[in-house]
Structure 1
Amino acid sequence: MVTVIPTNEYMRTSLVHKLPTPFQKQLKQLSFYGMDQRVSSLEEIIEKMEEQKWWEKIRYFESKYKGEWSGVDCPIYIYPISAKYLKSNKSHVAGGATFKEAVFLFLPAEQINGKKLEALFVHEYHHYQRLNKLPKTIENFTLLDSCVMEGLAEHAVREYCGDNFVQYKTKLSKEEALEMWNKYILPNIDEKKNSKIHDEILFGKGNYGKYLGYELGYWLVDRYQEKNAFSTKIALSLDSKHFL
């Protein structure tokens, strides 16, 4: 099965119109995570992306981590990243979005640090494998599920890429993180993914600290790891409540 889709071959005529049919309704979400939605010819950008060998490098990572985690086949789509996204997310050099059906990676035309690329891949590929090992649809994910998924993905980044490439580790002390968890997460722990407060807390919108749910998810998994034997491969299929 072809897992890294040759998007470079068909993107030259139209980006949006060549999206896989199931995802054409997800353009808003894909844009939020960095997808460039231009529909004009992208010949120059695609050529530069090919010069960076993004498709070959992602194929290598897919083969490596599929073996490492006994992963299931994962369709991976590579598209250019939006300049607007990079401008509003200055700490990011690339982006990604994961569904139960596929992983999308949004990459620049310029060279980036190889470990940063691998860290992005590990984070998103970990999401895909966990989504496909849990007996739950993503629509039924709770705030706890989302926090744990982000925390586990970033712990995988730390294990395989190094601490310097963890993007969402909290700067809070253990005591502060526990206080924030009790104040914001616990009262909303069963809120579903389609609820407003789920995303407000997870992404840190409004009065919440940016990426609050990500950081507290990392803290939660960290706390679990300090007290228990931990395996990234085994943890992929553990229920979120296991980490409480």
Structure 2
Amino acid sequence: MGVIRTEKWLHDSYHQPIEICEKLIGHFEDALAPEIYDYLIQHGMYQPFRNGFEAVKKLQKNNVWEIVEEENLRLQKVWEGPNIPIFIFPSDKNNRKLQQDFNGKSGLAFKDKLFLFISEENMEMEIRALFTHEYNHVCRLTMYPKNEEDYVLLDTIILEGLAENAVRERLGEEFLAAWTSNYSDEELKEMWNNLVFPNRNILKNERKHQSLLYGLRFYPKMLGYCVGYYLVKNYIEATNKTSKDLLNIKTDNIAQIM
């Protein structure tokens, strides 16, 4: 498996993304190509525009597929992770939140596949950091014995915290996501006690789960992500464990809930 050479798909069908998604049907159960495309757009996949193929050329020039394959082989070995298909596509230039909050890049991780949506503006270390974060998700989803559909808010924020602490461990604080520095430790402790802990068992499919995770409506921006990073970092500092050690440890243990 590993990195699928999606640049060839893009070369042939950039302006027909539904055709591209036809090639993905075998990786999704009971889904049609238009449904797959709609789902991927929600997570950052490109929407075609007239000169958009220039972005594909720039991604090729930036060796994006080669960089991701190199990281994939390295992390599979370090974390003893699964060998899964990895699909790379340009990201959506018109997604304002993606551009402002994530510098135009995003990912979508499953147990058995991984999607990366990358801007031609993203530098090599950003791409390495993105892959580290998303492949850590894949490993956690594979190794932690809980079905993803049963995840509650606490599972999700720890999932995100594990992934970004893996970036810190491998690449250093310089390449962390901008949201990791949104709040002080004191503010994060308060958010954990007052907002996240009382709602920790909200199921993934409930609207409030997403509101708390991303800090939507009246909640602090990126609330769940930030608290998850804080909790995992505290656990690492208390135990000296590595990213690999943490992949199958219970959520409650990492959050240090007695």
* TM-score (normalizing by structure 1): 0.91
- Whichever residue aligns with residue 236 of structure 2, its letter is Q
Q: Is the 8 A contact 1:170 1:216 kept in 2?
A: no
Percent identical among aligned pairs is: 32
Q: Is the 8 A contact 2:6 2:89 kept in 1?
A: yes
**How far, CA to CA, are the matches of 2:100 and 2:184 in structure 1?**
25
**How far, CA to CA, are the matches of 2:227 and 2:144 in structure 1?**
21
Q: Is the 8 A contact 2:98 2:105 kept in 1?
A: no
In the TM superposition, 1:40-51 aligns within 5 A as: 43-51=53-61
Note if 1:179 corresponds to 2:178: no
| Change in 2 beyond 3 A, CA 1:7/1:173 | same
In the TM superposition, 1:19-98 aligns within 5 A as: 19=21, 20-21=24-25, 22=28, 24=33, 25-38=35-48, 43-85=53-95, 89-91=99-101, 92-98=103-109
Task: Determine the structure 1 residue equivalent to 2:149.
Answer: 139
**How far, CA to CA, are the matches of 1:90 and 1:81 in structure 2?**
13
Task: Determine the structure 2 residue equivalent to 1:153.
Answer: 163
Structure 1 range deviating more: 115-124 or 93-102 = 93-102
1:213 aligned to 198, 217, 224, which one? 224
Cα distance, 1:41 vs. partner? 9.4
| Change in 2 beyond 3 A, CA 1:207/1:53 | same
| Change in 2 beyond 3 A, CA 1:87/1:195 | closer
Note if 1:196 corresponds to 2:207: yes
**How far, CA to CA, are the matches of 1:161 and 1:76 in structure 2?**
21
**How far, CA to CA, are the matches of 2:59 and 2:99 in structure 1?**
21
- Whichever residue aligns with residue 7 of structure 1, its letter is T
Q: Which runs of 5+ in 1 are unaligned?
A: none
Cα distance, 1:148 vs. partner? 0.3
Find the residue that maps to 1:83 and give its secondary structure: coil
Q: Deviations over 1:45-83 (max 9, x none)?
A: 333322221111111110111111111112110001111
**How far, CA to CA, are the matches of 1:224 and 1:176 in structure 2?**
18
2:134 aligned to 117, 120, 124, which one? 124
Cα distance, 1:29 vs. partner? 4.0
Q: Deviations over 1:108-165 (max 9, x none)?
A: 234x322111111101111111111122222111100000011111101111111011
Cα distance, 1:220 vs. partner? 0.5
Task: Determine the structure 1 residue equivalent to 2:112.
Answer: 101
Structure 1 range deviating more: 77-86 or 169-178 = 169-178
Task: Determine the structure 1 residue equivalent to 2:3.
Answer: 4
Q: Deviations over 1:65-108 (max 9, x none)?
A: 11111111121100011111256532414221112221111112
**How far, CA to CA, are the matches of 1:172 and 1:53 in structure 2?**
35
Cα distance, 1:37 vs. partner? 3.2
Note if 1:162 corresponds to 2:172: yes
* TM-score (normalizing by structure 2): 0.86
Find the residue that maps to 2:116 and give its secondary structure: strand
Structure 1 range deviating more: 36-45 or 218-227 = 36-45
Cα distance, 1:222 vs. partner? 1.5
**How far, CA to CA, are the matches of 1:43 and 1:179 in structure 2?**
47
In the TM superposition, 1:222-233 aligns within 5 A as: 222-233=233-244
